[in-house]
Amino acid sequence: GEDVEQSLFLSVREGDSSVINCTYTDSSSTYLYWYKQEPGAGLQLLTYIFSNMDMKQDQRLTVLLNKKDKHLSLRIADTQTGDSAIYFCAVWYSSASKIIFGSGTRLSIRP
Amino acid sequence: DAGITQSPRYKITETGRQVTLMCHQTWSHSYMFWYRQDLGHGLRLIYYSAAADITDKGEVPDGYVVSRSKTENFPLTLESATRSQTSVYFCASSDNPVTDTQYFGPGTRLTVL
């Protein structure tokens, strides 16, 4: 079946890089997304990657896609306190014509 | 106000009551979605709509009813609320759920006693 998995928590020191990982099951996935949810708010799209790409960089954000292992990661360089949020991986499953969200990774920043 | 809004933002109700959560978007997006967010489950799709008068079930539709008589509105009704429906509900809209982002509302926190 369709599934998207993430670890629930990540804690990093301010200024370090954060790497949030995601695995998915359906190899027919075409678009893969990272959303950010700040406290008390809805989700906002951070970035997305098309399945024919291995990497996408956007300022402090780097998305890596390993299609063979069905693994997606989001790297945040120079993590700041404002990056504290829940980060959701989401995958468009072509076979089911729908987006499946992971359970979200709560990123905490240590001073 | 431009954007996507949800009302109410907070709701407490009792088991067995009918509750309707409202969602309104001003962009004329074709697609609209209802999700529930629960700890450990992330976001789960309840229902979605590709256009006015077209709705379809998501992962967890049982106990919910939707309608889409107008493009801009997508109300979600809990016909007979149960405690397991205590959750945060998010509405979202999109022009194209594949290539465009989904724009999320601020959420409705529903507590069923």
Q: How far apart are CA B73 and CA B51, in angstroms?
A: 11
Count of CA atoms in the C-beta half-sphere (13 A) of A61: 18
User: Do β-strands A105-110 and A71-76 pair in parallel, antiparallel, or remain unpaired?
Assistant: unpaired
Calculate the average pLDDT of chain B. Answer: 93
C-alpha A24: how far from its chain's center?
11
Indicate yes or no: CB of B102 within 8 angstroms of CB of A101: no
Indicate yes or no: CB of B42 within 8 angstroms of CB of A31: no
Question: What's the pLDDT score for residue A35?
Answer: 95
Q: What is the pLDDT along chain A (111 residues), one digit of tens a residue?
A: 668 999 889 999 999 999 999 999 877 778 899 999 998 888 999 999 998 899 999 999 999 999 999 999 999 999 999 999 999 999 987 776 778 899 999 999 998
Question: What's the pLDDT score for residue B1?
Answer: 58
Indicate yes or no: CB of A45 within 8 angstroms of CB of B92: no
* 3 state SS of A67: coil
Best residue in A9, A43, A94 to probe B by mutation, most B CBs within 10 Å? A43
Strand segments (E) across A14-68 = 18-24, 31-37, 43-50, 55-58, 61-66
Count of CA atoms in the C-beta half-sphere (13 A) of A85: 20
Q: Give the residue from chain A lying closest to B35, CA to CA.
A: A101
